[in-house]
């Protein structure tokens, strides 16, 4: 209907939403980091494709930044922090995975409704891409809200960042300087959070946000 280019762009945006849902599903910390690396990789692909069809070569730089920093360096660094601090490697949830996924689907539906009703006159493809980007942002927030482990909250924050980048590249004409500043802010946030994690660990001997390490045993 709209040509192969837009279909591929949509598919990549949809895959990003799928990767966010996979982030919700994980219950082990290393697996979460791997899925986050996949998330960033899909984002890099999506941005590169947008660069291709919009004929905007500066977006290739954004894609490379996403690939190198977010898909490789940050997951590796977080991996090493986990090993060094000896952080508890199971992710504790506030509510079960099932309910979180239902909430996730509800959020995707909500963002679709909002986007498609608020922008009736805009280009239909841009609207749908924006709807997907908003879903990724909301899902990132959901991850932050429903996890007790600080590292998983950081990952949620990063995936939220990815959603914003997707939105920015979907709308044509965003200058590169914003991209670089966004990437740097992520880096700085990560350093700060790393320092905080160290502090929390020293103080409380654990980084389990909220309840300290308790043996929970089998779920009721």
Question: Which residues would be at the binding site for another protein (CB under 8 A)?
Answer: 1-2, 4, 7-8, 10-11, 13-15, 17-18, 21, 25, 27, 96-99, 101-102, 104-105, 108-109, 112-113, 116-117, 124, 128, 219-220
* Shortest reach from residue 163's CB to another protein, in Å: 16
Q: For another protein, which is the closer residue by CB, 15 or 149?
A: 15
Burial readout 111-132 (b: 16 or more C-beta within 10 A, e: otherwise): bbeebeeeeeeeeebbbbbbbb
Task: Give the separation between CA 185 and CA 187, rounded to whole angstroms.
Answer: 5
* Shortest reach from residue 196's CB to another protein, in Å: 31
In the chain, count H helices and then E strands.
8, 0
What backbone phi and psi angles, to 5 degrees, belong to 146? -100, 15
Q: Which residue shows structure tokens 């908003």?
A: 134
Gyration radius of the chain's alpha carbons: 18
Q: For another protein, which is the closer residue by CB, 90 or 205?
A: 90
* Shortest reach from residue 183's CB to another protein, in Å: 27
Q: For another protein, which is the closer residue by CB, 26 or 81?
A: 26
* Shortest reach from residue 190's CB to another protein, in Å: 28
Q: Which residue shows structure tokens 């429903």?
A: 146
Encoding tokens for residue 133? Answer: 């980007």
Neighbours of 206 (CB within 10 A): 17
What torsion do the CA atoms of 96, 102, 107, 109 make, to the nearest 10 degrees? 170
Q: For another protein, which is the closer residue by CB, 128 or 179?
A: 128
* Shortest reach from residue 173's CB to another protein, in Å: 24
Q: For another protein, which is the closer residue by CB, 75 or 104?
A: 104
Q: For another protein, which is the closer residue by CB, 203 or 220?
A: 220
How far from the centroid of its chain's Cα atoms is residue 41's Cα?
Answer: 11
* Shortest reach from residue 218's CB to another protein, in Å: 9
């Amino acid at each position: 209907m709209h040509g192969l280019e837009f279909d591929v762009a949509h598919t990549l945006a949809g895959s990003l939403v799928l990767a966010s849902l996979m982030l919700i599903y994980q219950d082990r910390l290393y697996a979460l980091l791997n899925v986050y690396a996949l998330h960033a990789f899909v984002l890099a692909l999506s941005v590169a494709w947008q660069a291709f069809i919009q004929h905007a070569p500066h977006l290739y730089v954004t894609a490379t930044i996403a690939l190198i920093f977010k898909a490789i360096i940050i997951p590796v660094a977080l991996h090493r922090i986990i090993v060094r601090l000896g952080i508890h490697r199971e992710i504790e949830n506030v509510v079960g995975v099932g309910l979180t996924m239902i909430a996730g689907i509800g959020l995707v539906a909500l963002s679709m409704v909002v986007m498609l009703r608020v922008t009736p006159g805009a280009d239909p493809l841009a609207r749908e891409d924006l709807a997907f980007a908003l879903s990724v942002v909301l899902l990132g927030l959901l991850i932050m809200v429903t996890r007790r482990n600080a590292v998983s909250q950081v990952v949620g924050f990063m995936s939220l960042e990815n959603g914003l980048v997707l939105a920015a590249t979907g709308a044509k004409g965003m200058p590169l300087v914003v991209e670089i500043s966004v990437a740097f802010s992520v880096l700085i946030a990560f350093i700060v959070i790393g320092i905080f994690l160290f502090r929390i660990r020293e103080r409380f001997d654990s980084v389990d946000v909220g309840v300290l390490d308790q043996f929970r045993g089998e779920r009721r």
